[in-house]
A = this chain, B = another copy of it.
Amino acid sequence: MNSAALTLINGQPQELWSVRDRGLQYGDGLFETIACLAGRPRWFDHHLGRLALGCERLGLPLPEGAVLRAELQSCLGAAPRALAKIILTRGVATARGYRPSGEERPTRIISAHQWPLGKDAEFRVGLSRVTLGTNPLLAGLKHLNRLEQVLAQREAAAAGLHEVLMCTDPGEVIGGSMSNLFVCHDDEWLTAPVTQCGVAGVMRALVLELAPGMGLKVRVAPLAVRDLAAATSLFVTNVRLGLQPVHWYQGRRLAVDERGVSLQRLIDDAGE
């Protein structure tokens, strides 16, 4: 598989599309990044659930799950490991301006990408100076307006970091630019709410669902920058990284909470 072996647009193998699509014009759409093993998307129902919520908020028709699943499998072939991406936009603009005409037909773009094996031995994280705007209507969604994350990742690259954590203007820590955050305490783990901004990550949901089964309490609670300064162990999560231990935060060495390793195994072995 090449970096993008195959792209399907509305079911047809092609990689070119009209620049009048509202996805490009306004970021008017959603996406999902899906971890795939042996040609099968993992946690597909979680991804579909988030996509459904996004469609509801944006007023887009949700594609049929069976169609998405078939197109994903067609893109993936028998690839042992891959990251698949679904982009869903409102479609090619039929009129000028932000206002949808209501006559657009959604655009569905499915692609498969390499997912190299192996993790960085030392995962370095900092605190971003790029703040997150808040909007409860968009919070939690994986929508196509990702400039804040792009700016944060530019900053991370310049600082030689893998990831940066992002705050709202009042200083509430929401998560990483491409990940959710868990702060590990002895008695419980904490992760920030994603009701004002941030993405409701699928791996975050799996941690919240599966941790209690191994006796680990995980709670959604507001996090402040000072909570990070006091933390002895942090994880960032997404479907690509899984539960990624943070080895360095703002130049400070952290411990790896071994419960994260056990939880990763539990998630890897989970049914879906």
Contact = CB atoms under 8 A, between A and B. Distances in A.
Interface of A: 3-4, 7, 9, 15-28, 31, 57-59, 83, 87, 89-90, 95-100, 102, 109, 111, 113-114, 130-138, 143-154, 156-157, 169, 177-178, 197
A40 to B, nearest CB: 20
Contacts of A135: 130-133, 148
A130 B137 contact: yes
14 contacts: A7-B19, A16-B19, A19-B87, A19-B109, A24-B89, A26-B146, A27-B147, A58-B151, A98-B150, A98-B152, A98-B153, A100-B153, A133-B133, A133-B134
B27 A59 contact: no
Contacts of A102: 157
B146 A98 contact: yes
Given A100-B153, A131-B134, 19 more contacts: A15-B19, A16-B18, A16-B19, A19-B87, A19-B111, A24-B24, A24-B144, A25-B87, A26-B147, A26-B149, A26-B150, A27-B27, A57-B151, A98-B178, A102-B157, A130-B137, A133-B138, A135-B148, A145-B147
Nearest to A90: B150
A90 B157 CA distance: 16
Given A19-B9, A147-B26, A99 B157 contact: yes
